Amino acid sequence: MSARMDHQPLEVSPSSDFVQIPADAVDVWEVDLRLLKFEQKLASGSFGDLYHGTYCSQDVAIKVLKPERVSVDMLREFAQEVYIMKKVRHKNVVQFIGACTRPPVLCIITEFMHGGSIFDFLYNRRGNFQLPDVIRIASDVSKGMNYLHQINIVHRDLKTANLLMDDQVIEHLPYDHRADVFSFGIVLWELLTGKLPYEDMTPLQAAVAVVQKDLRPTIAVDTHPMLAELLQRCWQKDPALRPTFAEIVDILNSIKEAVRSSVHHKRHSCRSHSGRRRGC
């Protein structure tokens, strides 16, 4: 798609080291509230509400801060979130659309995901994923996380539900990229099992068990061996021993090929032994 602006011609020098893009008086991500329509409240928290709406005819999710709960710390966190999100562009990361930074309305607008969250699918709709789906979703997550880590962004909240934190967070140690890897392992385990980790414990009991006793979710005996190994590596107590997301992307690609090859071999075996089709 090409674009044209009805302004004066731009001055471009062929000898310049880079092309100078003109700055606008208004940031392109600052939303026009007149074009933002609120349709349905999806969730409400202590400090903000989440809505489904539209912006310029596009379905969006709108996170609005509650004016009566705004503090200096919250404003600082809001500014940091906008600053980070406006730099992120990746197909496996929810797309930032814009924000309103002019009180009294402070909000962040992102693309709306019609399928809902994985947590909602697993625990509220009682859905489950087949192994190829698990690998595909895990691959997408790892690609998005690898991108964030490449531009030095730590997610800090990578989990299907806010239940577990890596021991680096629990003990208030510096939270780095490897803590996201631990959380990814929890997400992968939930995808495989459709269960909440440590569901027979309170969050505090689980946190203490993870830190003091190195407790990890139980890996089922029928888990694909390559996935079981990946889970164990993600949950290493020493963060330096955990894989990077770049490595995880490659590992999941290898697992996908192994699963595909296994399915192909099984189908070929069934065709070759039609007399024993019952066992296929």
The whole-angstrom separation of Cα 123 and Cα 195 is: 8
Q: At a CB cut-off of 8 Å and minimum separation 6, what does 93 contact?
A: 144, 147, 148
In DSSP notation, 23-42 reads PPSS-TTB--GGGEEEEEEE
User: Among 157, 176, 180, 238, which one carries the catalytic annotation?
Assistant: 157
The structure tokens listed for 275 are 């007399």
CB 23 within 8 A of CB 33: no
The whole-angstrom separation of Cα 51 and Cα 57 is: 15
The whole-angstrom separation of Cα 122 and Cα 118 is: 6
84: nearest Cα among 167, 181, 156, 141: 156
The whole-angstrom separation of Cα 144 and Cα 162 is: 19
What is the SS3 assignment for 58? strand
- Overall size of the chain counted in residues: 280
Residue 133: active-site member: no
Q: CB neighbours (10 Å) of residue 174?
A: 9
Q: Supply the residues annotated as catalytic.
A: 157
